[in-house]
Every structure is written in structure tokens, then in C-alpha cells.
Amino acid sequence: MKKQGGFTLIELMIVVAIIGILAAIAVPQYQQFQRKARFTEVISATGAFKSAVELCIQNNNNSPTGCSSGKTGDGWSVPAKTSASGHVTSVEAVDGVITAVATSTDGLAGESVIYTPDTTTDTTKIFWKKSGSCTTATPAIC
């Protein structure tokens, strides 16, 4: 008679243990990936504000003063403060400083990103310094 082949119980237990370990690592990483993906909506919402503030600063002798939401000038216009949409609670510019806040849903906890214009490093360019609770979240999502 031919001996029947197959997996032993210990071999099956080892495979199940390996799958369990992989799942324990992969699931939290995937959830973090989802949080970062949702927060990119908040970051991209600042794009129009950054462009408008840059134009404002260039037209105001390299000064961000007055580059606030809803303000207009010669050749520039900063968008008005936005209200909730998707994963974004609000985006606003005050004297060049742009603050965007996420919702408290879908893995996000109302994190914020703050962009501050730096015109002192190089007077021909505007550099953006990033701060906010998204940089200090555990783990950081921006």
C-alpha cells in the first residue's frame, strides 16, 4: 500500500503562526498608510493658498503681513477661509501663515499642518517651514 502524503499538524501550526505574525505587522502598517493617504487631502488643500501667499509676499516687498484669507491686492488674491470638505475641516491664511486642519474621522484625529513662509534665507525665494500636530503625531503623518 502506498503511504498517504500530506501536512502534519505541526507543519500546519507553523504556517498559521507565520501568517499570524505577518498579519500582526501588516495590519498596523496598512492602517498608518491609510491615515497618511487621507491626510494628503489636507496637504493638497493648501496648494492654492501657498501660491496666492507667494504672489502676495512678492508684491508686498517680501513681507507676509496682510497676506490673509480673503484679501486681495495688485495682481494677487488669497482664497477665503475654506469650510469642511472631505477630510479637511478648514484651511486659512493669516499674515502668510497657512493652517489646515483635518477632520476627526476615518483614522484622523483633527491633526493640523502649518506652513510658515521664510523669506529671510534667500530674498529671491520663499521657503515653507512645516509644523503642526501632524509632525508630532505618533507616528507622524506628514
Helix/strand/coil percentages in the chain, nearest 5:
35, 20, 40
pLDDT for residue 1 is more than 70: no
Tell me the Cα Rg of the chain.
24
Judge whether 141 and 130 are in contact, CB under 8 Å.
no
d(CA 47, CA 38): 16
Residue 94: closest CA among 81, 108, 110: 81
Are residues 46 and 91 in contact, defined by beta-carbon separation less than 8 angstroms? yes
Tell me the C-alpha distance between 103 and 99, whole Å: 13
pLDDT for residue 127 is more than 90 = yes
| Per-residue model confidence as pLDDT tens digits over 24-71 | 999 988 988 999 999 999 999 999 999 999 999 999 988 999 999 999
Domains, the chain, in order of start with CATH, read 9-136 (3.30.700)
Which has the closest alpha carbon to 95: 63, 140, 50, 135?
63
Edge-first strand listing for the sheet containing 88-94: 88-94, 97-102, 112-118, 127-131
CA distance 101 to 130: 13
Residue 27 grid coordinates: 495590519
Q: Provide the pLDDT confidence category of residue 97 given band limits of 50, 70 and 90.
A: very high
122 confidence band (pLDDT: 50, 70, 90): confident
